[in-house]
């Protein structure tokens, strides 16, 4: 089992995370009501956005972007 977990790709990890997320949402819906299920689903949006930011861009792009100053960004927009 540990070997299978180590061999999981990033896409597999996201699928497992989504599956567990929806399973918990269904559990919270039946146990506590719709409010808790919605809160759980909305709270995980930040996890999805972080994953998109981290893995969708090329490695050098996000690093260079974070090192730029606000003045450099403003001057490029003009």
The per-residue pLDDT for range 42-67, each reduced to its tens digit, is 777 777 777 666 666 655 555 455 55
Q: Where are the domains positioned within the chain?
A: 10-65
**Given this model, what pLDDT does residue 68 score?**
55
3-state secondary structure of 8: coil
Among residues 11, 41, 9, the alpha carbon closest in space to that of 27 is found at 41
Predicted model pTM: 0.43
Q: What residues contact 74, with CB distance under 8 A and at least 6 apart?
A: none
| Residue 12 or 77, more confident | 12
**In sequence order, which residues have a C-beta less than 8 Å from that of residue 51 and are 6 or more positions away?**
14
């Amino acid at each position: 089992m540990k070997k299978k977990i180590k061999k999981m790709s990033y896409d597999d990890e996201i699928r497992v995370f989504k599956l567990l997320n929806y399973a918990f949402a269904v559990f919270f819906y039946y146990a506590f009501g719709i409010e808790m299920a919605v809160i759980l689903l909305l709270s995980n949006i930040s996890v999805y956005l972080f994953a998109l930011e981290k893995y969708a861009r090329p490695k050098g792009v996000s690093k260079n972007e974070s090192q730029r100053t606000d003045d450099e960004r403003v001057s490029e927009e003009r």
